[in-house]
């Protein structure tokens, strides 16, 4: 992360757990506080303590206030703003990516106010690797350092869509090819009792039995 420069992480949105994943990314990797727009936050008020703030997309006035507040949030460098720019939950591996223009609006106005902002695409996938629970696989794409606030908003949105597509496609091909050995383990649950027994049994050196 570039010191002194505001950073925005943006990712696809396929299920409820995405927010929890982004929370762990900001806390465990970047050691920052997450800020995240959440629709219908009144249903989950506890999420305010986790960095969530409300957005009502049905009200243009309310939505604009949330976007303007996001620009304020970006400038506080103890935070990282996380955005799901599709604006709706889509199935995993959904293509093509179609972003709403809110992310581009925030980025443009952040550049106007702070001079520069970094936008980093984040690919998140939930995979089963020989276990009864999925593992969460996260890839960071190439950051876009934005310094020109006059860039066309639709053009910027398409650039961000393309960057997200490249990041997610690369991750998909790595997983499909079984190339997961280079991933760093950020958090791992304790093995269940039957997995511990299984590992112990594998370590027992049993001599071969001679044919009679």
Task: Return d(Cα 179, Cα 171) in angstroms, integer.
Answer: 9
59 against 17, higher pLDDT? 17
pLDDT band for position 41 (cuts 50, 70, 90): low
pTM: 0.84
Strand runs labelled E in the chain: 7-10, 33-39, 52-55, 79-83, 117-127, 135-140, 144-146
Task: Summarize the confidence of residues 134-154 as an average pLDDT.
Answer: 94
pLDDT band for position 52 (cuts 50, 70, 90): confident
Question: Does 49 have pLDDT greater than 60?
Answer: yes
What proportion of the chain, given as a percentage, has pLDDT over 90? 60
pLDDT of residue 206: 52
Question: Residues for the chain: how many in total?
Answer: 212
Question: Does 47 have pLDDT greater than 70?
Answer: no
pLDDT of residue 169: 97
- Tokens representing 178 are 């079984």
């Amino acid at each position: 992360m570039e010191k002194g420069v505001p950073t925005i992480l943006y990712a696809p949105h396929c299920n409820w757990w995405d927010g929890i994943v982004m929370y762990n990314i900001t806390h465990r990797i970047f050691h920052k506080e997450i800020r995240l727009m959440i629709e219908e936050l009144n249903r989950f008020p506890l999420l305010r303590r986790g960095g969530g703030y409300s957005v009502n997309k049905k009200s243009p006035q309310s939505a604009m206030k949330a976007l303007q507040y996001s620009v304020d949030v970006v400038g506080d460098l103890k935070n990282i703003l996380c955005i799901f720019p599709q604006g709706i939950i889509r199935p995993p591996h959904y293509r093509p990516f179609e972003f709403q223009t809110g992310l581009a609006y925030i980025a443009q106005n952040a550049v106007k106010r702070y001079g520069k902002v970094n936008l980093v695409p984040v690919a998140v996938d939930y995979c089963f690797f020989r276990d009864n629970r999925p593992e969460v696989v996260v890839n960071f794409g190439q950051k876009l350092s934005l310094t020109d606030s006059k860039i066309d908003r639709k053009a910027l949105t398409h650039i961000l869509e393309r960057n997200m597509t490249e990041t997610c496609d690369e991750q998909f091909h790595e997983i499909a090819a079984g190339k997961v050995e280079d991933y760093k383990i950020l958090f791992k649950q304790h093995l269940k009792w039957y997995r511990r027994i299984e590992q112990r049994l594998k370590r027992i050196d049993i001599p071969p039995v001679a044919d009679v």
